[in-house]
Amino acid sequence: MARAPKSQNTDSSPDMDLPEDFDLEAADLDLIGEESSGIDLDFSNEAAPQRLRAGVEVIQKALKTLPNSPGVYRMIDAAGDVLYVGKAKSLKKRVSNYARGVGHTSRIARMIADTASMEFVTTETETEALLLEANYIKQLKPRFNVLLRDDKSFPYILVTSDHVAPQLTKHRGARNRQGQYFGPFASVWAVNRTITALQRAFLLRTCTDSYYENRTRPCLLYQIKRCAGPCTGEIDPVGYQRLVTEARDFLSGKSQAVKARLGQDMQAAAEALEFETAARIRDRLAALSAIVSTQDINPQSVEEADVFALHEEAGQFCIEAFFFRNFQNWGNRAYFPKADRTIAPEEVLGQFVAQFYDDKPAPRLVLLSHEVEEMELLGEALSLRAGNKIEVACPKRGEKRDLVEHAGSNAKEALSRRLSDTASQKQLLVSLGQAFGLEKPPRRVEIYDNSHIMGTNAVGAMVVAGMMGFSKPHYRIFNIKSTDITPGDDFGMMREVLTRRFARLQKEASQEAPATDESRDDAMPEWPDLVLIDGGRGQLEAAKTVIAELGIEGVPLVGVAKGPDRDAGRETFFVPGRDPFKLAPRDPALYFIQRLRDEAHRFAIGTHRARRKKDFTKNPLDEISGIGPQRKRALLLHFGTAKAISRASLEDLTKTPGVNEATAKAVYDFFHDGGR
């Protein structure tokens, strides 16, 4: 891996000489002839050539100390933001290309012009440089690189190994728990469907360890034949481990062997006239068949592979990813990487795949739709990270090529839908801007709503929409914390939510968004162009007070009051400086506002219900320090319920089997004045 960073930093210097072959007029002509893609560098401005000259000077200065070794370079602007991260087999040769001043595309020229300093890290090999480059890009998100968007972690199925009765569960995130992980699955829906089938087939428990420890009788899952009931001894440990082994074998690709073994057991049970046993095994076989039969494509010769196919249209890219494990299709997902339209599709795909596996394990085979320039190097990098051989290929024939073509057709359809949705969404935003008298269509719309029951479990919700529709990564939940708010005071809750939201925006205002955030229609700005408040004049006045106290200007506020009897389509709108008004019943902007409001309701109410459910199911014993699962179970077995434990005397608690005097004293104190 990369050595301890030998970082070098070079700043611009006005005294540096340009390279002898640098032709500023030719550079200007070259730059003007290229498409600017909206980046803020106007070459009709006299300052543009000076900015380009300054950037070349920075690069020329860096060349004097650069080695010929592999490494990673970062180009940084005057504000300290990273513009671009690149890797090189020879840092000196690669960076020298930027100092020519001519022959560059508009994107590269603009990048050079914005460069105020450079930093370098040398590595032992080019493979290590590729891994480090992908890591830096994901961390720093440079605006001139290809950026992987919507890179949330994938769900996996986990069969634990840190408990006497292993658990079958869904897992996402770091692999900190002991056990075997199977995946990735493209969606939580695919995981849930598979887990349900596995429960029917192998009867493994899905409950948490604490729930398992506190059972005194089998739960409902045992009654409906989705669990073998190991918690209460309905199955012996040896028999349960046999089920666990069968489940692991099935998920590991030995599905035919598992089904054959179950078929033999069913036949033997039938011959022994044990028809109930044979029927149970038959149901398990049917559940296993359902897992395989619900897959859209099940390859015959590809046991394990990830397939990536890229489609380009209208200057946008879509990469469709399919995941195949154990000869089964475990789902697909469409990605829309952020990339300049001048970047070649092969380069987009190569950078995407390198970033994709920065925090995910790679399968033994990765299939691509395009011949990326450094395919062999990419395979070496993935192999180095995984610790085993990984092949990266662009198949030309056979079943592998069929898989790639199928992914490509899905990518084309996904991008077509996205472009169509984007056009419709733009029209809605135009209508929204016209309805509320905005100077231009909003690019970021925020709507706020509260949810509570008599002031309990109160939450505020912020829903965000933009050019690409609802933007769920930007949604926020605000747990109402203030003790000064009267329970049920909607105005007070709205003030707290907006104060926290805009105070944080002000705090982060010094870190201005890079120019590309404003250069693309689908980019999401940090500040809202329109704020919708779910409520009437009172909520709007609360919002205006917050904005005024924070000294914020230029944020349009609109109150959305429900119609009589909460009828949709009869909403009244309150805008500062205007009389209340309604929109025409068939106005597209009205339908759009209803969708925004309904989404805010859904998000706020869903979070509120989750908090309320958590409070309902909370066991008071969980709050007592030093009370683990075993002692908790002993107390519940002895007294029956937590309420009975709270009423028990210290003497009775001390007599509980498995509970010592210190523990009994802690429990007694908790439920009486000493613990409250």
239 shares a domain with 131? no
Question: Is pLDDT larger for residue 607 or for residue 438?
Answer: 438
Residues 562 and 502 grouped into a single domain: yes
| Residue 320: CATH number of its domain | 3.30.420.340
CA angle 488, 490, 494 (to 5 degrees): 135
Rounded mean pLDDT of 612-627? 67
Determine the Cα–Cα distance for residues 66 and 595; give it in Å rounded to an integer. 56
Q: Considering the domain boundaries, does residue 517 fall inside one?
A: no
Examine the fold and report which residue of 239, 258, 293 is the final residue of a domain before the chain moves on.
293
Element (H, E) at 169: strand 168-171
**Could you report the per-residue pLDDT of 634-664, keeping only the tens digit for each?**
787 777 777 778 888 888 888 888 888 888 8
User: What would the two tokens of residue 453 be?
Assistant: 């029951």
Give 298-342 pLDDT, tens digit per residue. 667 787 889 999 999 878 899 999 988 877 777 888 999 988 888
- Specify if 363 maps to a domain: yes
Domain extent, residue 89, equals: 8-140
Specify the pLDDT at position 369: 94
Assign residue 627 the CATH number of its domain: 1.10.150.20
Q: Give the DSSP letter string of 458-490.
A: EEEEEEEEETTEE-GGG-EEEE---SSSPTT-H
Task: Say whether both 73 and 133 belong to one domain.
Answer: yes
Q: What is the mean pLDDT of the chain?
A: 79
CA gap 479, 487 in Å, rounded:
14
Tell me the C-alpha distance between 28 and 318, whole Å: 33
**446: pLDDT confidence band, cut at 50, 70 and 90?**
very high
**Cβ burial 269-298 (10 Å sphere, 16+ → b, else e):** beeeeeeeebebbbebbebbeebbeeeebe
Per the structure, the count of domains in the chain is 5
Confidence of residue 267 (pLDDT cuts 50, 70, 90): confident
Percent of the chain with pLDDT over 90: 16
Q: Give per-residue pLDDT as tens, 415-444.
A: 888 887 777 888 889 988 988 888 889 999
How far apart CA 555 and CA 537 sit, in angstroms, is 17
Q: In the predicted model, what is the mean pLDDT of residues 387-413?
A: 91
Q: What is the pLDDT of residue 615?
A: 61
Residue that is last in its domain, among 247, 264, 293 = 293
Note whether 442 and 584 are same-domain residues: yes
User: Is position 432 within any domain?
Assistant: no
- Provide the 10 A C-beta neighbour count for residue 210: 14
Q: What local confidence, expressed as pLDDT, does residue 491 receive?
A: 85
What is the pLDDT confidence band of residue 3, given thresholds at 50, 70 and 90? very low
pLDDT at 143: 87
Kindly state whether residues 585 and 449 are assigned to the same domain. Answer: yes
Identify whether residues 26 and 112 lie together within a single domain: yes
- The whole-number pLDDT of residue 565 equals 60
**Would the CA dihedral through 191, 194, 200, 201 be positive or negative?**
negative
Q: Are residues 232 and 310 in the same domain?
A: no
Q: Say yes or no to pLDDT of 45 above 60.
A: no
User: Does residue 165 sit in the same domain as residue 205?
Assistant: yes
List pLDDT tens digits, range 168-200.
998 887 778 888 888 777 777 778 878 887 888
For position 17, what pLDDT does the model report?
39
In a domain, 146, yes or no: no
- If asked whether residues 605 and 649 sit together in one domain, one would say no
**Exposed e or buried b for every residue in 318-350, given b needs 16+ CB within 10 A?**
bbbbbbbbbbbbbbbbbbbbbbbeebebbebbb
Taking the model in full, what pTM does it have? 0.63
Is residue 422 one of the residues assigned to a domain? no
Distance in angstroms (rounded) separating the CA atoms of residues 49 and 72: 28
pLDDT at position 407, please?
A: 92
pLDDT class of 358 with cuts at 50, 70, 90? confident
